[in-house]
Amino acid sequence: MKIVLKNLTKKFPNRNKKQGGDVIAVNNFDFEIPDGKLVGLLGPSGCGKSTTLNLISGLEKPTEGKIFFGEDDVTKLPAQQRGVGLVFQSYALYPHLTVFKNIRFPLENLKGEDKLSKEEMEKRVKEAASLVQIDELLDRKPSELSGGQQQRVAIARALVKAPRVLLLDEPLSNLDARLRLQTREEIRRIQRKTDITTIFVTHDQDEAMSICDLIVVMKSGEMMQMGRPQDVYDDPVNLFVAKFLGTPPINVFEGKIENGGLFIGDDRVLDVKTDTSGTKNVYVAVRPEGFIIDDNGPLKCELGRLEVMGRDVSIVSKHASLISESGTIRSIVNSDNTVDLSLSHVNFSLKPHKVFAFDKETEERIRFIDG
């Protein structure tokens, strides 16, 4: 089931009376979530991810705009009739019910022609439990399960009604690091197996990048960019998106474009063609993997230390024009590269496709023209 958002907007009255005005939680969203894909809504806390999900599920009513499931306009359809399965960060299981009864719960209230026999319900519960691999746990109470197992029960409960759409709101946030990794792979597996259109909300770029077919990067109720994770990483439309994706984060410098050159401070790091004229002040952002150690390289940095992490070597260095919060440049080079630690400096040349320029005022990307 594809989901189409048309000029979707949600405003909340501002609780802070002194500020006045509305909070625009979701501003004019206009995009399509393709059928059968796992799509990540990604952005910092407060950017409108949960509100978007709640609008799609019907828990919130939009201020303006429409929502379509396939060709059906569901904007006015009550939540229960939309056929969505919901999973939240807090698993919201019923503590006094067994796993079996928790999963069966949504089936018990089905009325009319949807009403199921006891045997049919049991069959469905077992199928859902088997899908998330908790067959052995059906007699337990939630308190007898680990966090990861509880989250699987919540997913089974969302799947048992065979929803048209599965909505997951930060489903991994309550799990420890190891379980988070495991459970995100589970979500990927279950989505592939069921082919249900799934929207996965997270503030963790690593999580979204690793399992989603598509990501939607959001900031303050605005949709910034949508695309395949690698495409968005390789081709960010603005500084926010460039900074939000990637670990270690992208390195941002003060720079300029002048006389066909891209400068970081006074270092002319690349020859570039743009449609700007004169001197243009920019932010220059370089991915950690975009640095090449090169004695004759144009970017002249003060050498800090080396960090060896398995096959990668991270060089920590400094440059006067760096404005990243960390205060140091993080560059990852192949461990075959050596750097003379007795020296106080290190020079780099840069891989052109790992370097982006952004307008200093608008923070929008300034594209280099090929050739």
Binding residues for Mg ion, per CB under 5 A? 50
Three-state SS for 29-52 is EEEEECCCCEEEEECCCCCCHHHH
Which amino acid, 158? A
Inter-residue contact 30 to 6 (CB < 8 Å): yes
Q: Which of 19, 45, 109, 342 binds ligand ADP (CB under 6 A)?
A: 45
If the CB atoms of residues 16 and 344 are measured against ligand ADP, the closer one turns out to be: 16
**Interface with ligand ADP, residue 22, by CB under 6 A:** no
Query: Is the Cβ–Cβ distance between 222 and 8 less than 8 Å?
Result: no
Cβ distance to ligand ADP smaller for residue 5 or 137: 5
Min. distance of Cβ 27 from Mg ion in angstroms? 16
Residues of this chain, 78-117, that bind ligand ADP according to CB under 6 A: none
Strands 165-169 and 197-202, by their bridges, are parallel
**Smaller CB separation from Mg ion, 50 or 183:** 50
- Contact flag: residue 51 with ligand ADP (CB under 6 A): yes
Non-local (6+) Cβ contacts of 102 within 8 A are: 93, 94, 142, 153, 157
- Stretch in the footprint of ligand ADP (CB under 6 A) among 49-57, 84-92, 224-232, 274-282: 49-57
Nearer to ligand ADP, 34 or 44 (CB): 44
Q: Which two tokens stand for residue 268?
A: 């002319």
- Rounded least distance, CB 201 to ligand ADP, Å: 7
**Minimum distance between the CB of residue 323 and Mg ion, rounded to whole angstroms?**
29
Q: Distance (Å, rounded) from C-alpha 314 to C-alpha 289?
A: 9
Residue showing the smallest CB distance to Mg ion in the complex: 50
Applying CB under 6 A, does 47 fall inside the site for ligand ADP?
yes
Q: Give which of Mg ion, ligand ADP, none residue 46 binds (C-beta under 5 to 8 Å, depending on kind).
A: ligand ADP
Q: Is the CB of 50 or the CB of 317 nearer to Mg ion?
A: 50
Q: How many positions of this chain bind ligand ADP (CB under 6 A)?
A: 12
Residue from 36, 46, 147, 297 binding ligand ADP (CB under 6 A)? 46
Q: Which is nearer to ligand ADP, 25 or 138 (CB)?
A: 25
Binds ligand ADP (CB under 6 A): choice among 8, 25, 134, 262: 25
- Distance between CA 284 and CA 359 in Å, rounded? 9
Confirm or reject binding of residue 48 to ligand ADP (CB under 6 A): yes
First to last CA, the chain: 43
Q: Which is nearer to Mg ion, 169 or 186 (CB)?
A: 169
Query: Where do contacts with ligand ADP occur on this chain (CB under 6 A)?
Result: 12, 15, 23, 25, 43, 45-51
